């Protein structure tokens, strides 16, 4: 599959028609479905839980990329694993015992991801890099779609690439927040493997065209 992978987030979709949204994602030639889970505490909004992921599962064969913006994610991983999640990513800022949780996700046969908000440096997760399959670099403060990408966060992508090339781990690097036609070139240039896109994807009339453009043509 051609990198970067494109992972549209259903956060920007009409929640009364989520099945249609995941079908659109497939039809547009995007690679993954990004599911933003918010608990109303770690971030102010509430979105959905494992039942929604389970109900969507039969409508898509794409990788389900679950992004947990919740405190105590350890209480949710088993249910999301059963719901058909492929990647389960939690926030470094929400967890004390991160190695244990990454291990628990992998033991369930799932890919384990760690995410950092814009104010968290890469050094905070460096000890976790050998134990993670994905590092999700937030380029906005999580909680809402449609915000502007904070350009300084892209430096973290470069740092993560550098660490990976030095053998620190074997993870994908994902960028989430404010990815659109205008910002995609700088995100690609930073060397990202996965681009999450919410509002840009669901606002686009030509979704397949957008996916191609985000990938760099």
Q: Using CB under 6 A as the criterion, which residues of the chain lie in contact with ligand DX5 when the complex forms?
A: 9, 11-12, 34, 36, 67, 140, 142-143, 145-147, 176-179, 196-200
Closest CB to Zn ion: residue number: 67
The closest of 57, 59, 36 to 48, measured between CA atoms, is 36
**Which of the following is catalytic: 65, 133, 176, 193?**
176
Angle of the 18-27 helix axis to the 207-215 helix axis, nearest 10: 60
For residue 136, the minimal CB distance to ligand DX5 (Å) is 8
Alpha helix stretches (DSSP H) within 28-153: 50-56, 77-83, 98-107
In the bound state with ligand DX5, the residue whose beta carbon lies nearer, of 130 and 151, is 151
Q: Catalytic residue at 86?
A: no
Comparison of 168 and 212: residue with beta carbon closer to ligand DX5: 212
Give 102 or 200: the residue with its C-beta nearer to ligand DX5.
200
Catalytic residue among 36, 39, 65, 133: 36
Contact residues for Zn ion, defined by CB under 5 A: 36, 67, 176
Shortest distance in whole angstroms from residue 28 CB to ligand DX5? 15
Nearest alpha carbon to residue 193 among 216, 210, 209: 216
Minimum distance of ligand DX5 from residue 3's CB (angstroms): 19
Nearest to ligand DX5 of 119, 170 (CB atom): 119
Query: Please, is 174 exposed, middle or buried when counting C-beta atoms within 10 Å of its C-beta (0-12, 13-18, 19+)?
Result: buried
Distance in Å, CB of 133 to Zn ion, minimum: 16
Residue 65: active-site member: no
Q: Which does 47 bind (CB under 5 to 8 A by kind): Zn ion, ligand DX5, none?
A: none
Closest CA to 134 of 87, 179, 167: 87
**DSSP class per residue in 197-212:** ESHHHHH-SSHHHHHH
Active site members: 36, 176
């Amino acid at each position: 599959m051609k990198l970067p992978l494109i992972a549209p987030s259903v956060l920007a979709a009409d929640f009364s028609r989520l099945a249609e949204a995941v079908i659109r994602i497939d039809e547009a030639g995007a690679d993954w479905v990004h599911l933003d889970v918010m608990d109303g505490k770690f971030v102010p909004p509430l979105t959905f839980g494992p039942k929604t992921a389970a109900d969507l599962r039969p409508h898509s064969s794409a990788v389900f990329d679950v992004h947990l913006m919740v405190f105590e994610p350890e209480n949710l991983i088993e249910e999301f694993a059963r719901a058909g999640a492929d990647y389960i990513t939690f926030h470094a800022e929400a967890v004390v015992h991160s190695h244990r949780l990454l291990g628990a996700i992998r033991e369930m046969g799932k890919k384990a991801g760690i995410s950092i908000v814009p104010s968290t440096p890469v050094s905070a997760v460096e000890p976790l890099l050998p134990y993670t399959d994905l590092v999700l670099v937030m380029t906005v403060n999580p909680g809402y779609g449609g915000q502007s990408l904070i350009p300084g966060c892209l430096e973290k992508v470069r740092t993560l690439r550098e660490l990976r090339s030095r053998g620190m781990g074997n993870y994908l690097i994902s960028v989430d927040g404010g990815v659109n036609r205008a910002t995609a070139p700088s995100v690609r240039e930073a060397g990202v493997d996965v681009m999450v896109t919410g509002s840009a994807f669901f606002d686009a009339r030509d979704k397949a065209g957008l996916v191609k453009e985000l990938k760099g043509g």
